[in-house]
Amino acid sequence: MPQIAPMATKFSELELLKYPFPAEGESNFPAGTVCGPIKVDPINAEWGLVELRLSGAGPFFLPQLIVASDDKDEQNIAIPLTSAPKRSDGIQVFSAHVSSERLQKRLYLIPSLKSCSIKLAKFRVVPMTKGQVLRRFLTNMTRSPGLVVSSIINENLGYRFQSRQHRLTLATALRSLVEVASRNFPDPNQLRFGKDPRYSQWTNTRFETLIPRQMLPDTRSRFPLSVAVLAAKEDSGALLSLTMNSLSSAGISSDSVFLIDGAETTHQISPLTTVSDKDFQGHLANLEQERFLLCLRAGDTVSRDLLDSCAEHSSTETTEILYFDHDHLGHEGTYCEFDFKPDTSPNTLLFRNYLSRAALARISKLSSLLEQAPKIRSSGILGLIYGCAIQASQQRELVMVHVPVPAIHLRKESSEELAERSNNEQTARTLLLESYAANLIIDSSYSVGATWRSRSQPQKKVSIVIPTKNRVDLLRPAVDSILDMTLYPNYEIVIVDNQSDDMATLSFLEELSESSRASIVTFDEAFNFARIHNMIVPHLNSDYVLLLNNDTEVTNPMWLTRLVDLFDLPNIGIVGNKLLYPDGTIQHAGATGGLKGPMAHHLVGHRENDVHPLISFPRDVLAVTGACLLIPTKLYLDCHGMDEKLAVSYNDMDLCLSVRETTGKAVVVSSSGGVIHKESKSRGTSFSAREQQLLNIEADYFNSKWLARIRPDPFYNPNLSLERDFDLA
């Protein structure tokens, strides 16, 4: 007797009311939004054809039916829904074959892996006969057997591959075979889409940004968060709808959201009351002071697990500032252009707000700052949060927490918005500098970087110490460029002759000594960079000592002035300089712990305009190169100078780490530059077997001494590779 197909269930409308902000009749959802749970009536069959009907502007890209696992050791099953041609009435139909066992689980829907707009969503399940399932099974096995088999081997019932706790048995393999091949299983590489396909794949694998490994529990951990949303006059309703529905998806009640109108008007947008930025700041004192405030622009979105991430990484009792890594929401609705940040970097923050709009500040601290510096009100709410972050980073008793998770997705700001934010942050920066660096004037712009200068003329004496052996062809342009180009008024040049025997070099040194343009000191031992400076520095009569290689050349008259000026920053121990190769590429812009070994320079060989935006701003780093390193003479002596066991390499980085460890003072790399470094030309870049052995010994010694302090590097980011600097890990 032939099988009779069971009756199809009726379509039921999916519940979208928890996303309360439709724009022009449609709800705008961020990429990977989870809808549900979906109620499915029991079916009298072993298999069902899931049908989903979506209407609206979309785009509906790779929609997923999520079968939620109740086992914490197993991942959710993400079942891709395949599409039929769009109907004439504009409705898009999607379907998948699902076993009745799966349909009895908790079901959720991800309408699209891109940001999308939905007007109506309907869902039903059509029971299937075994014959229909068998035909689908044979069709798919014929069409893509390799994909089906590889999915079974990896026990992948969705896009993500993850081993189960049990071993693969014949029974589980057969079940997987039927389940996978009974639906039109697409290629997992389809996840590689959008403006930055490598990033979309990486972030989904690492953070479940699009397809969650576990659904959020019904009773989520609570975190006391309020959100201010800046809505400019030109912002569309779709942008605001996208942000509000994103917050709703993350479990943030509309009662905790404030809409700030940039047009300085007040009107009602149900269920939110719109206020001006100025009025909102005045209202802060009336809010619950122990809550945190996040300020977004219309069009920004947050991840569904934002509140859980906040609760996991911070303490509601002690944390004052909490900030996340972020990425950007591309115009096609996908995530791209990641911005992975350092841990708390007080000096970096004074020059550039690397937190952007991904920072949460305790409301009590915002209120307190408004009372202490009423003029900061003119910087707007974003400027106020930035000022509060500066204050928290400078005051060690205030806790500032970095969460290295891209849980906030920012839309790109217009040039006008970026300029306005830059101006507001400059206002906040200037006010805070009065408290923390009163003698320093900083002008900072996202487009051109930072410039700075001291209010008073520099008076402190600098001794420029240059070790050399022969190589007058390098030494002469180095010394001449200092003498010809340096505008700093109070410096001396001290050249340490390390057993030169070249007559031209000796003649040049004698000429310098007789003309009093430089002092010549003899070091009659085998080359040991650390010992050279340990011997010389105690005899210097100067406030600062500048370590400078003989293969450098000055190109900017303000090079030394700008380095000295940075000591007007609070708690500075060492200042290094951005150095360029003769071809204009980067030779040094700071060193990263654990990069390509114990520690290495980052961004070497890159063009300045092609790399990380922080390159245009002074930054906190773990260490800088001794090729151009400025340190107070007394501090050098107090820290007992350099470790003479490091004769050739890592001695400069060891000094930086010693200063940080023993004094708590910061190491900063300047972005002012103005010095070319013809790296290692005085000693060459080819090493004998004995020299290479010495370098390896020193690397091992340095690593054993500092490993616990350099990995992880607080000024790098755990999401970034230690093999390819500033690339995805």
Each residue's pLDDT tens digit, 59-118: 998 888 888 877 766 677 778 888 877 888 889 999 888 888 888 888 999 999 899 999
Structural domains in the chain (count): 3
pLDDT value of position 661: 95
Amino acid at 361: A
Q: What are residue 494's DSSP bridge partners?
A: 465, 519
pLDDT value of position 158: 42
Q: What is the mean pLDDT of the chain?
A: 86
217 domain residue, yes or no = no
- Residue range 430-460, pLDDT digits in tens: 999 999 999 999 999 988 899 999 998 778 9
C-alpha angle with apex 536: 535 to 540, nearest 5 degrees? Answer: 140
**Domain identity same for 639 and 494:** yes
**Domain identity same for 364 and 493:** no
pLDDT value of position 150: 61
**Domain identity same for 505 and 603:** yes
Whether the pLDDT of residue 146 is over 80: the answer is: no
pLDDT value of position 144: 67
| pLDDT bracket for residue 194 (50, 70, 90) | confident
**Domain identity same for 432 and 466:** no
Where does a domain end: 403, 438, 473? Answer: 438
SS3 content of the chain, % helix, strand, coil (to 5): 35, 25, 40
Q: Tell me the two tokens of residue 586.
A: 């980067």
473 domain residue, yes or no = yes
Residue 348, CA distances (Å) to 301, 586, 620 in order: 26, 19, 6
Count of beta carbons in the 10 Å neighbourhood of residue 216: 18
Count of beta carbons in the 10 Å neighbourhood of residue 91: 15
* Mean pLDDT across 258-266: 67
**Domain identity same for 116 and 247:** no
- Strand locations in 262-398, DSSP E? 268-269, 272-275, 292-297, 301-302, 319-329, 335-339, 359-362
| pLDDT bracket for residue 264 (50, 70, 90) | very low
263 vs 18 pLDDT, higher one: 18
Model pTM?
0.90
**Domain identity same for 484 and 626:** yes
d(CA 129, CA 510): 100
- Reading phi first (left if > 0) and then psi (alpha if -120 to 50, else beta), residue 426 is in alpha
**Segment holding 128, helix H or strand E:** strand 120-128
**Domain identity same for 337 and 408:** yes
**Domain identity same for 167 and 240:** no
Among 213-222, 341-350, 472-481, the minimum mean pLDDT is found in 213-222
Angle between helices 651-663 and 529-536 (to 10 degrees): 50
**Domain identity same for 680 and 593:** yes
Amino acid at 78: A
**Domain identity same for 468 and 418:** no
Where does a domain end: 190, 213, 246? Answer: 190
Amino acid at 640: H
**Domain identity same for 409 and 547:** no
pLDDT value of position 157: 43
d(CA 144, CA 20): 42
629 domain residue, yes or no = yes
Closest CA to 588 of 607, 601, 606: 601
- Strand locations in 63-105, DSSP E? 64-68, 77-80, 82-83, 92-99
406 domain residue, yes or no = yes
Whether the pLDDT of residue 156 is over 50: the answer is: no
d(CA 705, CA 449): 36
Dmax over Cα atoms in the chain, in whole Å? Answer: 115
Where does a domain end: 438, 453, 485? Answer: 438
722 domain residue, yes or no = no
| pLDDT bracket for residue 172 (50, 70, 90) | low
Tokens 């600097």 belong to which residue? 725
Segments forming the whole domain that contains residue 125: 12-190
546 domain residue, yes or no = yes
SS3 519: strand
Whether the pLDDT of residue 520 is over 60: the answer is: yes
723 domain residue, yes or no = no
**Domain identity same for 418 and 477:** no
318 domain residue, yes or no = yes
Half-sphere exposure of residue 101: CA atoms within 13 angstroms, side-chain side: 6
Whether the pLDDT of residue 406 is over 90: the answer is: yes
Q: What is the CATH number of the domain that holds 539?
A: 3.90.550.10
